Chain A
Amino acid sequence: MTLTKQLWIAITLVTTVALGGSLAVSLENARHYLEQELRVKNIDNAGALALSLSQLDKDPVTVELLIAAQFDTGHYRRIRLVDPEGSILVERSRPATPAEVPAWFVDLVPIATQPGLAQVQDGWQQYGTLTVDSHDRYAYASLWAGAGRLLAWLFGLALACGAIGTLALHRITRPLKAMVGQARDIGERRFTTIAEPATAEFRSVVRAMNTLAEHIHKLLDEEAQRLEALRRQTEHDELTGLSNRAQFLRQLDSALARDDDAAGGSLVLVRVAGLDALNRRLGRKAVDEALARLAAQLAASAETRADANCGRLNASDFALLAAGAGEAAALADALRGRLQEALGAEAAESLRLAACAYLPGETPGMVLARADAVLAAAELGFGRTVDAGPTDALLPYASADAWRAGIGAALDADHLELAAFPVLREDGSLLHEEAPVRLLLEGRWRTAAQFLPWAARLDLLPAIDARVIRAALQQLEQHRSRQLAINLSAAALRDAGFRATLHEALRHRPGLARRLWIEVQEAAALRHQVEFRSLCLALRPLGCRIGLDHGGKEFSRFAGLHELGLDYLKIDAAFVRGIDTSAGNQSFVRSLCSLTHALGLLAIAEGVCSEAERRCLVGLGVDGITGPAARRMAKSPLPLN
């Protein structure tokens, strides 16, 4: 029972007892008073009448007239004169009917009146005893009316008490609601702070919880700063702060392996030609500054889009990798002007730019070789600076319209299935299964990497994601022990209607929701923080797990990460590939793991290929792995160590 309910019951009880008690006491007082009044009236009137009769001639008619006159003009129930032997001389009476008062009231509050007695004398002789009974009808009527008025007043008072009680309760429990919310947040690893309430007891509790939340916040901030510094200093070019060649190649590798809507994309190579000559002409310092400006501009361009990385491949070569961006030419054109401006008028001439598209599944070497060829052509002045990339002969459609029709038809026909790739704990047991979507297009099952980039361009992702959710719930229903992880696209995340549908679908299946892991790409979540936060707040209470994938690069930049209550982070393959040989990435992943653990998140490494990588990652504190190594292990579990 809630506190409010209990307080309400207490208020109601106290009010009822107080008001009911005062009603009873008032009625009893009034009854007693009326009894006394009637008694005194009886005694006095009997005395006065007896006195008159004693003075009178005892002619029976006169006596009867006097009594009748008293009875008829007064308010009596009975006047009786009895002679000393006990026989009635005169009697006048009226039936005792309390007219307008209900019988139960008379039974409840009886007014016991006593008759007034007086002696009548005839000279020295006794003439008789006079008994006078006043009518109690008006007493009952007055008591009844009084009770009615009192009840009305008390009812009004009870209403007023109720109103005051409501206000008071509202005031008292208002901070409590916030406190309960905060406690619940902390229980869900969302370390929120709230304003301190005025009530002393509440204030000390809130202060303690706020202190805890702030402490954690501070801790996380420090950890995040350390992480960011680590990331920068280890695998980065000193002058420009961009990724160095090795790191950039790992990023490229990771991008080529993607199978979501960011599969495929564009690579832009930037060369400052004749660097030695420039150095001699402008001075090394000026050239370094110009290069730094160029790098900053590149980084800024990468910043504006999700899933973009840039790096310095060697002294004069820079690269921008834009995953999921199909328009290589447009990207190159947008960059050119900004980079020339960054280099400055004197060096702008030396800028060479080449762009090429890549397909998922290509090797980094193939993509780089193609880009180099375009750049060489550009340097030779052939003017063609963009390579549209290879056309995938396996792709079923060539035009956007065909893609739209094909995907639409597959969805309508329910030609959709979920793949299953194991995610293993460090001890080799199954954590959950990643379930990327597949569509049956032109008679063959196509991987996500093949159609998701087109679906993204055609704005079909929310529709596909909705079907994925449905398929995942079906799977969970059929296999009671399975846990599935599904990926939500940025487009679906932004779509409020989709979020509502998702919430509705999960709300009615709490048992299934608990076995569903929902992940959003780190870059998408970071760029749509408001939507991501509302998704977290809506889905957390339903029991499903929420995490980030392709994460690590910008993890430390999440504002209020500690307030989101996330469950897991999947670390991007770029930090995982060859980790056994990269000291920088090792310390980065170690820090990332300690940060996620501090927040109560699981750290899962993506794209783990070799057993050496796996062992290294487990040593760094990673809780789970996915990728080729995990698939191999799931088929033939390796003994630990």
Chain B
Amino acid sequence: MSSIRPPPPRRFLTALRRLAGALCVGACAAARAMPDAGDVERLTQARHDAMGASRVADWRRLIAEAGGLSAGERLERVNTFLNRQLRFDDDKVIWRQPDYWATPIETLGLGAGDCEDFAIAKYVSLRLLGIPAAQLRLIYVRARIGGPRSGHSQAHMVVGYFPAPGAEPLLLDNLIGEIRPASRRPDLFPVFSFNGEGLWVGGEVAADPSARLSRWRDVLDRMQREGLQFNP
């Protein structure tokens, strides 16, 4: 599984921690990429509630089980699970902040998120399921709301999956639950896309204080602290 980060030779503590993790959880690659289930649930329980903990546990099970499926099935499972489990709401309501990028565990723990939180949770889930970063994009889009002739639009974010480098992407969105190719989403206009490539060289992100100044790197950093170990 390409999502397992090889132990960085210089980070002694991390190496120790991961060695301990490997001893506890055993050989299951997906499980190793995940933090210890009990830990995450306890963390979630402490932060949120039992519902949140069970959502996180379900998600963990999904990641553990869906690893062997085809790419299309993995996309489908992740998209459906997250769209069902999460309720859309504004950051101002959920986090009492104008804009907050939550980690998947925070989002699942609360059971709610805005479009970035949906997109981040889907992106991370797919990465954990072994979809290469090169095929995934977090895409800023302008979304037209209220039908094809509506003049009203708003900023939105979706996850794009590129089956091939030059191909049209499949979009995982929370406005429309179904995965559709970009050409079937005339309501969305792409503006900019990004992924985690180039950020995670040598595993130095967590040690770099500048990481906290970028929203994207900050949320990746927090995920690592929560125990989600993967190469974005």
Contact = CB atoms under 8 A, between A and B. Distances in A.
A119 B208 contact: no
B191 interface: yes
B194 A126 contact: no
B97 interface: no
Nearest to B208: A36
Contacts of B160: 124
A83 B201 CA distance: 21
Interface in A113-140: 114-119, 121, 123-126, 129, 131
Interface string A83-120: 11100000000000000000000000000001111110
A125 B166 contact: yes
A118 to B, nearest CB: 6
B137 A119 contact: yes
A448 interface: no
Interface in B177-221: 182-183, 190-195, 197-199, 201-202, 208-210, 213-214, 217
B162 interface: yes
A54 B166 contact: no
Interface in A43-70: 43, 46-47, 50-51, 54-55
A84 B192 contact: no
Main secondary structure of the interface of A (DSSP, over half): mixed
A123 B165 CA distance: 14
Nearest to B141: A124
B198 A54 contact: no
Nearest to A53: B192
Interface in A451-503: none
Nearest to B160: A124
Given A124-B169, A126-B165, A39 B195 contact: no
A54 B193 contact: yes
Given A43-B198, A43-B199, 11 more contacts: A40-B213, A46-B198, A54-B193, A114-B198, A114-B201, A115-B198, A116-B198, A119-B193, A119-B194, A121-B190, A131-B198
A124 B182 contact: yes
Contact of B210 (A36, A83, A119, A129): A36
A129 to B, nearest CB: 7
10 contacts: A36-B208, A40-B213, A50-B194, A51-B192, A54-B191, A84-B162, A114-B198, A118-B194, A124-B169, A126-B166
Interface in B52-83: none
B89 interface: no
B197 A129 contact: yes
B165 A84 contact: yes
A399 B193 CA distance: 131
Contacts of B194: 47, 50, 118-119
A50 B195 CA distance: 12
Which 7 residue pairs across A and B have the least CB separation, nearest first?
A117-B198, A84-B165, A124-B182, A40-B210, A114-B201, A121-B193, A117-B197
B168 interface: yes
Contacts of A123: 190
Nearest to B167: A125
Contacts of A36: 208-210
Contacts of A46: 198
Contacts of B198: 43, 46, 114-118, 131
B53 to A, nearest CB: 35
Looking at B168, B182, B193, B202, which has the most chain A CB atoms within 10 Å of its CB? B193
Contacts of A43: 198-199, 214, 217
A51 B139 CA distance: 12
Which of B162, B210, B217 has its CB near the most chain A CB atoms (within 10 A)? B210
A55 B191 CA distance: 7
Interface residues of B, number: 28
Contacts of B191: 54-55
Contacts, number: 64
Contacts of A85: 165-166
Contact of B192 (A39, A116, A121, A129): A121
Interface in B155-169: 160, 162, 165-166, 168-169
Contacts of B193: 54, 119, 121, 126
Contacts of A54: 191-193
A115 B202 CA distance: 12
Nearest to A132: B198
A116 B214 CA distance: 13
Interface string A358-376: 0000000000000000000
B41 to A, nearest CB: 34
B197 A126 contact: no
A36 B214 CA distance: 13
A353 B72 CA distance: 151
A198 B145 CA distance: 91
A39 B190 contact: no
A119 B209 contact: no
Contact of A119 (B183, B195, B201, B214): B195
B208 A39 contact: yes
Contacts of A124: 160, 168-169, 182-183, 190
Given A54-B192, A116-B198, A119-B195, A84 B166 contact: yes
Contacts of B192: 50-51, 54-55, 121
Contacts of B182: 124
Contacts of A47: 194
Contacts of A126: 137, 162, 165-166, 193
Contacts of B199: 43, 117
A46 B195 CA distance: 13
Contacts of B197: 117, 119, 129
A129 B134 CA distance: 10
Contacts of B195: 119
Given A47-B194, A119-B193, A125 B168 contact: yes
Given A54-B193, A117-B197, A124-B160, A39 B210 contact: yes
A50 B140 CA distance: 13
Residue in A47, A124, A125 with the greatest tally of chain B CB atoms within 10 Å: A124
B119 to A, nearest CB: 15
A12 to B, nearest CB: 35
Nearest to A131: B198
A633 to B, nearest CB: 91
Contacts of B210: 36, 39-40
A454 to B, nearest CB: 99
A12 B166 CA distance: 68
Interface in A1-60: 36, 39-40, 43, 46-47, 50-51, 54-55
Contacts of A118: 194, 198
Interface string B74-115: 000000000000000000000000000000000000000000
B204 to A, nearest CB: 8
B27 to A, nearest CB: 32
A151 B14 CA distance: 36
Nearest to A123: B190
A118 B198 CA distance: 8
A55 B193 CA distance: 11
A280 B12 CA distance: 123
B9 to A, nearest CB: 14
Contacts of A51: 192
Contacts of B162: 84, 126
Contacts of A40: 210, 213
Nearest to A41: B210
Nearest to B217: A43
Contacts of B137: 119, 121, 126
Nearest to B195: A119
Nearest to A121: B193
